[in-house]
Structure 1
């Protein structure tokens, strides 16, 4: 005979809980004391119950749809790759670093390339069929990809065995390097022709990370990233391609910040938004087939208190995994200072390993599925991004907004407010305006940041505060 202990306790509605909270507040205003609003105007309540999820039927489909099931028996249900980044300029030295990383927990490479590298030296001893490879072009993505294709051919590798992608999005590139729309579309067409037979290799990114690292809000980064992707698809369709050709070769590239629950919800909302968009193009792909590349945030890192960046990285990496990352790149904690050392890169790589091997985040496919709070946040972000996309389309699309500096202006306004809030003490950042390490050796020079009106460049939230500290006599 089963005994249901819950029968001894009367059921409580959300109204009952709120009334109890109001009673415990002893006259304090409920709204002012316990509710908050994000920078995008999303209200966060102190309590969520089953009643709040009654209208979230649409999310049922997306629960437990974060990665494809492995064809290898015995693997954990939650799968993400641990990405390590390398600059390919010194091929021989980089090759040793790559091999060391691969035998110490990395199972994906991100290579920063000019297109002049000797891949035979750079990737000597690397077995690409067992890992993922992501290519980042410093200048010409076509040149880089051609070199990579030639290396695959010289080594008689099956193109279907190559997994990874080209981390490139021409519209985001135009925010820092002047390019015409026609030039970007020509590059996209060439890449699509070159990579047609690379079934599991992505060629295009929805680059929300570029906006995040420039100071954008969660809604802004998703809306501008997706609107650029819509412009790309529409332009390519005008050139005779089918939407499916572009969609199958696209992945989401997201940066995840330190607002833990909000960032989990953002990543989950990104997958849903991408899936809903491809349905509008009459493309039928399961949500778990969409690829989400997540990197920890450059924007949240600090120069003066680099050790605390390790804590930020851990929080961000965990949010990325719980949100549904298929590939995770943890930035070295000394990234703001310039070239991070081997220790910094190893610490970054180990964060993903620890979250898998010691925290067991790979044992459950979707741990936050059904969470009253997070799923309400997901829907709120979804609705806000949908409204923002409609406004962008009403203005003529991403490229028109870019040419009129609307994108740049809106994000710079958000950035300015966040930086000033930190400078004036309205917001707390550990190691910067709270618990400052007085013994920290200050650099001789601050972070130099110059930006034209049409540009939108990556920077970090504490830049104004840190520069003011460095410049003090």
Structure 2
């Protein structure tokens, strides 16, 4: 026992940064220390280690959660008294089905009712639809989040009419029923009515909500259209904040005070796969927003950001989709560490089709495990004080502020969209992402790395198919009455008055669309990282169905297993990423054996795999004999060789080299075209 006590009292000298660096350089064995640095899509340099010195100039580190600046959270108690809202988006094929699903999921841990009208699965047209949707649901017990898009006014009017019929006080409702016209414009490239009309509605609804639904926010600012276009974290934040400032100015011009506008805004951000970057993004968002509202003269309370998060659609895959569960779990972890107020976790089959009960349950339980088993909510700002996270937070905030000011200098977000500045900025990063995926510098497990060609795909209805819904006939008299009220700038009161009298959403929207001054911009293309390789996999599968076999490359392995295995495994993974089968061989010890075995395979594309030492004599011999016997076949060598060696091999008949620096996607496309695989079906 005395020895243990003595050990407890012993201390070890703390190494200096210089001593640590010296040891690291030894382990690098001659490679430069700078090799440990990396650069993100945000053009932020990531160091291999962070120390106290990195955060000495950061004033917010000494702040406590719940105090201005709000980097460490808008609430002093974090999640301890009130956890984030489990806000899973729910869709269905009818109001009745939606009602049953919502009741089912609320009974199993969901804490916020979440609707995105454009993805709801059915139109909300009438008061009857509203009654069917919310039948037997206690709206005073659960918050409501409705991303209403262009239907914000009509949905809110029908919802208010439903509450009046139920004799439920408006003030009992809490949550968000919001519109985001600029987000819609960026995503689709079009608005069917003018931004001026949208702002008129926005300001009128905000005033009405302040007096009638004080616990409901009516403006949503979405970062997802930029994230799903390939934007980096800084761009997503900067474009979102520029949008919010546009809404603030529009509402201030229409008679609202800054505190009234700021309190009506909820932000929604996607959370991607770069774990620490996403944590820093959400923390930086609080700091930047506080500075913006403060610049408008807003109070400390108004400076607190309301922030919803959703795990990224951009990172999800169609192939090996169960890996999406792990992606969503890591992204949800980042969102909760970052301090989101509410969270939607992507069902693992999101990229394939509508969620079913199983995928909804897994997504919902991902949140519940973080809350109930991982106890994330028990620590206030768990990332606070981390040298790395705090430094990254400050860097993201600084770059966000700089880009935000650049947009403001161009006349604001709408002008920047009309001029194509925003689209060009996003496309620049998107191109980098696409290139890195195609070169496999950015790894997607189960897609461009570790693909499993034997997996059985999940079959669902085509997500992109448009479903036609029957619409009721528009009553022109109702439309005329609505237009008369709208001309007097009584938007929400008129819409509610007419909804109580059974006016439909179609009629409310028809009255709005009387304004012909629509706006168009180039849309930001929405895509997913895995799409390029998924297209190759699909082409290979169609080829299999038509011809009974996948497009195939044949290996010519040289020497014993240890001699060729590393490169054979690399080539196998390389081509399977595109759905191409790889026919393996035993190790050949002579050029004659190799050529004889290759000719028996009766293929069109061959790749020699072995060590650099074994290549020296065997590759030229194999290439000459092989090309004489099969001049139309293609012959490649696995691995990068010195320029003079490559030239020698080419002169012997080798067609090319495949190595870690090769563009995997372009290589497979070239092979498939030569094999007669149709890539455009």
Relative to the length of structure 1, the TM-score reads 0.91
> Is the 2:294–2:303 Cα contact (8 Å) retained in structure 1?
no
> Is the 1:63–1:369 Cα contact (8 Å) retained in structure 2?
no
Aligned-partner Cα distance in 1 for 2:60–2:75: 21
Q: How does 1:174-253 map to 2 (within 5 A)?
A: 174-175=185-186, 176-179=188-191, 180-196=194-210, 197-253=212-268
Secondary structure of the corresponding residue to residue 350 of structure 1: helix
Equivalent residue number for residue 463 of structure 1? 531
> Is the 1:172–1:210 Cα contact (8 Å) retained in structure 2?
yes
**1:116 matched to 2:118:** no
* Farther-moved stretch of structure 1 (221-230 vs 286-295): 286-295
Equivalent residue number for residue 43 of structure 1? 45
Residue by residue, what CA displacement relative to the aligned partner does 1:390-419 show, whole Å, maximum 9, x if unpaired?
211121111111111111122122223212
Aligned-partner Cα distance in 2 for 1:6–1:54: 30
Secondary structure of the corresponding residue to residue 190 of structure 2: coil
Aligned-partner Cα distance in 1 for 2:437–2:329: 22
Q: CA deviation at 1:447?
A: 9.1
- Tell me which structure has the larger Cα radius of gyration: 2
Q: CA deviation at 1:448?
A: 7.5
Q: CA deviation at 1:46?
A: 0.9
> Is the 2:149–2:180 Cα contact (8 Å) retained in structure 1?
no
* Farther-moved stretch of structure 1 (173-182 vs 93-102): 173-182
Residues 68 and 110 of structure 1, relative CA distance in 2, 3 Å threshold: same
**1:405 matched to 2:473:** no
Equivalent residue number for residue 25 of structure 1? 28
> Is the 1:66–1:288 Cα contact (8 Å) retained in structure 2?
no
Residues 285 and 86 of structure 1, relative CA distance in 2, 3 Å threshold: same
Residues 6 and 130 of structure 1, relative CA distance in 2, 3 Å threshold: farther
Equivalent residue number for residue 590 of structure 2? none
Equivalent residue number for residue 183 of structure 2? 172
Secondary structure of the corresponding residue to residue 294 of structure 1: strand
> Is the 1:447–1:467 Cα contact (8 Å) retained in structure 2?
no
Q: CA deviation at 1:208?
A: 1.2
**1:8 matched to 2:11:** yes
Residues 4 and 267 of structure 1, relative CA distance in 2, 3 Å threshold: farther
Aligned-partner Cα distance in 2 for 1:253–1:207: 5
Q: CA deviation at 1:324?
A: 0.3
> Is the 1:446–1:471 Cα contact (8 Å) retained in structure 2?
no
Aligned-partner Cα distance in 2 for 1:15–1:79: 43
Q: CA deviation at 1:67?
A: 5.0
Residues 264 and 82 of structure 1, relative CA distance in 2, 3 Å threshold: same
Residues 446 and 83 of structure 1, relative CA distance in 2, 3 Å threshold: closer
> Is the 2:147–2:220 Cα contact (8 Å) retained in structure 1?
no
RMSD: 2.7
Secondary structure of the corresponding residue to residue 376 of structure 2: coil
Aligned-partner Cα distance in 1 for 2:264–2:206: 8
Q: CA deviation at 1:6?
A: 7.9
> Is the 2:319–2:534 Cα contact (8 Å) retained in structure 1?
yes
Residues 466 and 128 of structure 1, relative CA distance in 2, 3 Å threshold: same
> Is the 2:41–2:232 Cα contact (8 Å) retained in structure 1?
yes
Q: 1:90 aligns with which of 91, 94, 110?
A: 94
Secondary structure of the corresponding residue to residue 179 of structure 2: coil
* Farther-moved stretch of structure 1 (47-56 vs 374-383): 47-56
Relative to the length of structure 2, the TM-score reads 0.64
Residues 393 and 165 of structure 1, relative CA distance in 2, 3 Å threshold: same
Q: 2:141 aligns with which of 114, 124, 130?
A: 130
Q: CA deviation at 1:256?
A: 0.1
Q: CA deviation at 1:223?
A: 0.6
Across the two proteins, how many residue pairs are aligned to each other? 466
Aligned-partner Cα distance in 1 for 2:74–2:411: 34
Q: 1:297 aligns with which of 290, 312, 320?
A: 312
Show structure 1 runs of 5+ residues with no match.
none
Secondary structure of the corresponding residue to residue 299 of structure 2: coil
Residues 18 and 5 of structure 1, relative CA distance in 2, 3 Å threshold: farther
Secondary structure of the corresponding residue to residue 63 of structure 2: helix
Q: 1:160 aligns with which of 160, 167, 171?
A: 171
* Farther-moved stretch of structure 1 (349-358 vs 204-213): 204-213
Q: CA deviation at 1:24?
A: 3.4
Aligned-partner Cα distance in 1 for 2:462–2:245: 39
Secondary structure of the corresponding residue to residue 284 of structure 2: helix
Q: CA deviation at 1:333?
A: 1.0
Secondary structure of the corresponding residue to residue 140 of structure 2: helix
Q: How does 1:48-447 map to 2 (within 5 A)?
A: 48-61=50-63, 63=65, 65-68=72-75, 76-77=80-81, 79-87=83-91, 90-113=94-117, 114-117=123-126, 118-137=129-148, 139-175=150-186, 176-179=188-191, 180-196=194-210, 197-286=212-301, 289-441=304-456
The structure, 1 or 2, with the larger RCO (C-alpha pairs under 8 Å, 6+ apart) is 1
* Farther-moved stretch of structure 1 (251-260 vs 79-88): 79-88
Aligned-partner Cα distance in 2 for 1:63–1:55: 19
> Is the 2:150–2:181 Cα contact (8 Å) retained in structure 1?
no
Residue by residue, what CA displacement relative to the aligned partner does 1:106-145 show, whole Å, maximum 9, x if unpaired?
0001123344152222111211222111112254210011
Q: CA deviation at 1:84?
A: 2.1
Residues 246 and 4 of structure 1, relative CA distance in 2, 3 Å threshold: farther
Secondary structure of the corresponding residue to residue 203 of structure 1: strand
* Farther-moved stretch of structure 1 (194-203 vs 427-436): 194-203
Aligned-partner Cα distance in 2 for 1:62–1:144: 40
Q: CA deviation at 1:277?
A: 0.9
Q: CA deviation at 1:272?
A: 1.2
> Is the 2:263–2:302 Cα contact (8 Å) retained in structure 1?
no
Residues 104 and 358 of structure 1, relative CA distance in 2, 3 Å threshold: same
Residue by residue, what CA displacement relative to the aligned partner does 1:136-186 show, whole Å, maximum 9, x if unpaired?
225421001111122222233333332210243111111215123213312
Q: CA deviation at 1:284?
A: 1.6
